[in-house]
């Protein structure tokens, strides 16, 4: 849940800034560590036409960053329905990563304890950090976000201009919400690559039990991967901001940013709804400035349906072309 009253406006705006990162070319490392670029690891620039990496290759890169950078920590969060380990990557200033458990305890208390004395609450907010959770590619046919995960991680830890934000924000990235589906989709694409059926839809569903409806499972929590995600925000970390990264279809708007369209569920806090609009409008401003077009708001996705992951939270859907076209990796930054 979002706890609008429990964090300062100043800190909130810094979270907002993190979410509105502009697109710039890769720059030199600044943190004194040497980490491999995504291109070095995968042998191609993620997002290149007709090139996809699979789940194991994705996690192998993040494990390398975990081993080589003090700014990234990889943890397991559960197991997928087919038995693949699921992960979350914490990306922040090295001092924050080193103090992650303390920061988690602060965040947890701010979220759950309504009776903190005012002076103590101010102290906790001052000592605490803002947690921003992003989950990528729950719909595995929407390959863009997970294919962008290595680039997002690399840029955050290697570009100096992000340092001021990462001193105050812990970015929590679930690099793949549906590991089973990612491997199915990538295996299908590779099997037919170069042939008549290259780029065809996979003849089956990309989730063992619920297919595309894994985004309807946040009421009943019937699936292991759904529960792994829900544990992050309901039981363990209580992020202030959540972003669920999808990929738009090829026949509608290229991008969607919040707010969602009416109707709005009556138990959504008015302050949350207002912040959703502020975030979305700033995303649109920055995306337009970066040269991206076709951005929609108040479109396609309502804020009433209670089964969605993003029901109480901010939602960002990023659009790109299917695997046979160009995946705009940098657009997944927003
Ligand atoms: Zn989707």
- Tell me the per-residue pLDDT of 217-272, one tens digit each, with 9 for 90 and over: 888 899 999 999 999 988 999 998 888 888 888 788 888 888 888 888 887 778 88
CA distance 255 to 321: 11
Distance 127 CA to ligand 1 centre (A): 36
In a domain, 27, yes or no: no
Distance 34 CA to ligand 1 centre (A): 35
Does residue 34 form part of some domain?
no
Q: How much distance in Å is there from the Cα of 333 to the middle of ligand 1?
A: 17
Question: Does residue 29 form part of some domain?
Answer: no
pLDDT digits (tens, 9 = 90+) for 63-115: 999 999 999 999 999 999 999 999 999 999 999 999 999 999 999 999 999 99
Q: If you measure from the C-alpha of residue 29 to the centroid of ligand 1, how many angstroms do you get, rounded to a whole number?
A: 33
What is the CA(182)–ligand 1 centre distance, in A?
Answer: 13
- Whether the Cβ atoms of residue 238 and residue 89 lie closer than 8 Å to each other: no
| Number of separate domains in the chain | 1
What per-residue confidence (pLDDT) applies to 189? Answer: 96
CB atoms within 10 A of CB 246: 23
Contact at 8 Å (CB) between 81 and 207? yes
Ligand 1 mean position to 116 CA, how many Å? 39
Asked if 178 and 140 count as a contact pair (C-beta separation under 8 A), the reply is yes
Residue 66 lies in a domain: yes
**160 C-alpha to center of ligand 1: Å?**
32
Give the residue numbers spanning the domain of 246. Answer: 4-22+39-333
CATH classification at residue 53: 3.40.630.10
Examine residue 28 and state whether it is found in any structural domain, yes or no: no
């Amino acid at each position: 849940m979002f706890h609008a009253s429990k964090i300062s406006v100043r800190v909130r705006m810094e979270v907002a800034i993190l979410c509105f990162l502009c697109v710039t070319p890769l720059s030199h490392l600044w943190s004194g560590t040497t980490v491999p670029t995504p291109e070095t690891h995968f042998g191609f620039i993620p997002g290149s036409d007709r090139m996809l990496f699979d789940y194991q290759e994705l996690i192998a890169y993040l494990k390398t960053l975990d081993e080589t950078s003090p700014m990234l920590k990889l943890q397991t969060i559960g197991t997928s329905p087919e038995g693949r380990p699921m992960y979350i990557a914490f990306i922040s200033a090295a001092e924050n990563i080193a103090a992650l458990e303390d920061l988690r305890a602060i965040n947890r208390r701010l979220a759950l304890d309504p009776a903190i004395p005012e002076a103590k609450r101010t102290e906790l907010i001052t000592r605490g950090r803002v947690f921003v959770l992003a989950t990528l590619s729950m719909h595995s046919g929407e390959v863009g976000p997970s294919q962008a995960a290595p680039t997002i991680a690399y840029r955050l830890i290697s570009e100096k201009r992000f340092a001021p934000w990462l001193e105050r924000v812990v970015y929590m990235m679930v690099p793949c919400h549906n590991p089973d589906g990612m491997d199915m989709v990538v295996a299908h694409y590779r099997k037919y690559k170069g042939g008549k059926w290259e780029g065809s839809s996979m003849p089956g569903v990309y989730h063992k039990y619920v297919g595309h409806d894994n985004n309807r499972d946040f009421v009943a929590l019937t699936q292991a991967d759904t529960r792994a995600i829900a544990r992050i925000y309901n039981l363990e970390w209580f992020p202030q901001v959540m972003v669920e990264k999808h990929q738009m279809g090829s026949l509608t708007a290229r991008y969607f940013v919040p707010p969602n369209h009416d109707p709005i569920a009556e138990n959504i806090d008015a302050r949350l709804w207002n912040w959703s609009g502020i975030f979305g409008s700033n995303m649109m401003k920055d995306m337009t400035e970066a040269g991206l077009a076709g951005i929609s708001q108040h479109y396609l996705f309502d804020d009433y349906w209670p089964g969605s992951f993003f029901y109480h939270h901010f939602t960002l859907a990023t659009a790109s072309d299917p695997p046979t076209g160009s995946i705009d990796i940098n657009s997944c930054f927003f």
